[in-house]
């Protein structure tokens, strides 16, 4: 069969990225331009600033990706782009670039759901086999997804309020360790001890999560200690917080695997880069004879290689869109 080269474009949050992937498995070239340094000053992503930077950089990122791959648009079979969910102004930049390229070069346009992208990042490491359960943990999502087969998603549970990555970022802000908070807290957690007592959030029988109570508990703890004139041990707090987060995610994920009788787990999304979560889930999966896999860190956080990979499977199914495709800030995974 002829090789299929998909050009992926991702701009849903604060990373402008383009990538070329062959046959949904081989990454040919990827460029990720992160705006983290710009948003750090504000303690989080400022949507208006993010879209302006996407606009400034998208052409350069696309050119650099093609140059890196030593390819031209003639070599590309289709263009896959994130159409949602995400920040609307940011999504629109990638989407308009994709539509323009599809129109000018007469290529099929493939709309990709951002979370499908995160899940399919796993295919860049090893061919995904079904059925499986995907744990999607990022700045915008905390979802358990059952996949009976390729591109068949059944949402079985998710957060009722804050996403887990969002909770990491807010806790990091409260203890003053910068943005994005996830990687910093993850690192600090390896250095501290579990000394602070925090509640296990939404410890019930459902597959849902809730992190806003835990976030408030951390904020209250920090303020109370400050008022008493006590100094918070940030590393101990990071360890205590991370253990609670990892415990509840592991507990519900294992319950889903057992109840759905599934022996494959894949992790996806920025928080899947978390060392504590990877270690705990790997251990628990070994104990329960479950095959657990997760992408390397560069494929966990936002990137266009995952979009090109998911796009390949939609290409095979002929799921193309016309040029009227619009961006959606919130859209169900299907």
Residue 302 touches Zn ion, criterion: CB under 5 A: yes
Burial of residue 158 (CB within 10 Å: 0-12, 13-18, 19+) is middle
User: Which phi and psi (to 5°) does residue 46 adopt?
Assistant: -95, 110
- List the one residue out of 156, 159, 119, 157 whose CA is nearest residue 141: 159
| Torsion sign across C-alpha atoms 153, 159, 162, 168 | negative
Q: Are 46 and 39 in contact (CB under 8 A)?
A: yes
d(CA 261, CA 275): 26
Q: Which does residue 271 touch among ligand KG4, Zn ion, none (CB within 5 to 8 A, set by kind)?
A: ligand KG4
Contact code string over 248-287 relative to Zn ion, x by CB under 5 A: ----------------------------------------
DSSP reduced 3-state for 234: helix
d(CA 4, CA 75): 9
Smallest distance from ligand KG4 to CB 306, Å: 9
Q: Pick the binder of Zn ion from 138, 242, 250, 303 (CB under 5 A).
A: 138
Smallest distance from ligand KG4 to CB 71, Å: 26
Under the rule (CB under 6 A), what is the footprint of ligand KG4? 13, 138-140, 165, 168-169, 180-183, 186, 269-271, 273-274, 301-302
CA trace torsion 77, 8, 112, 104 (10° rounding):
-60
Which of 72-80, 104-112, 120-128, 137-145 is the region at the interface with Zn ion (rule: CB under 5 A)? 137-145
d(CA 60, CA 38): 18
Smallest distance from ligand KG4 to CB 205, Å: 26
Q: Are 84 and 114 in contact (CB under 8 A)?
A: yes
Smallest distance from ligand KG4 to CB 176, Å: 15
Residue nearer to ligand KG4 on the CB measure, 157 or 276: 276
Residue nearer to ligand KG4 on the CB measure, 84 or 139: 139
Smallest distance from Zn ion to CB 259, Å: 27
Residue nearer to ligand KG4 on the CB measure, 133 or 138: 138
Smallest distance from Zn ion to CB 302, Å: 4
Q: Which does residue 243 touch among Zn ion, ligand KG4, none (CB within 5 to 8 A, set by kind)?
A: none
Residues that bind Zn ion (CB under 5 A): 138, 302
């Amino acid at each position: 069969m002829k090789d299929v080269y998909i050009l992926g474009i991702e701009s849903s949050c604060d990373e402008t990225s383009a990538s070329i992937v062959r046959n949904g498995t081989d990454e040919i070239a990827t460029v990720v331009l992160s705006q983290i340094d710009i948003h750090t000053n504000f303690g989080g992503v400022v949507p208006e600033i993010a879209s302006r930077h996407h606009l400034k950089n998208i052409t350069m990122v696309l050119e650099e990706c093609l140059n890196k791959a030593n390819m031209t648009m003639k070599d590309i079979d289709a263009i896959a782009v994130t159409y949602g969910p995400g920040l609307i102004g940011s999504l629109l930049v990638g989407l308009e670039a994709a539509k323009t390229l599809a129109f000018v070069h007469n290529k099929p346009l493939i709309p990709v759901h951002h979370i499908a992208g995160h899940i399919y990042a796993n295919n860049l490491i090893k061919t995904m086999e079904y059925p499986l359960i995907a744990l999607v943990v990022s700045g915008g999502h905390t979802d358990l997804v059952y996949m009976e087969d390729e591109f068949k998603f059944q949402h079985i549970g998710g957060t009722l309020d804050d996403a887990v990555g969002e909770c990491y970022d807010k806790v990091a802000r409260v203890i003053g360790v910068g943005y994005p908070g996830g990687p910093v807290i993850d690192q600090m957690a390896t250095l501290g001890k579990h000394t602070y007592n925090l509640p296990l959030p939404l410890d019930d029988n459902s597959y849902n999560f809730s992190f806003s109570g835990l976030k408030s508990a951390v904020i209250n703890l920090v303020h109370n200690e400050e008022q008493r004139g006590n100094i918070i041990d940030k590393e101990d707090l990071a360890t205590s917080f991370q253990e609670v987060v990892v415990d509840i995610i592991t507990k519900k994920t294992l319950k889903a695997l057992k109840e759905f009788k599934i022996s494959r787990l894949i992790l996806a999304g920025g928080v899947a880069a978390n060392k504590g979560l990877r270690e705990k889930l790997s251990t628990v999966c070994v104990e329960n004879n479950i095959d657990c896999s997760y992408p390397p860190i560069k494929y966990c956080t936002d990137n266009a290689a995952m979009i090109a990979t998911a796009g390949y499977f939609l290409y095979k199914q002929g799921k193309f869109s016309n040029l009227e495709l619009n961006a959606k800030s919130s859209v169900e995974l299907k």
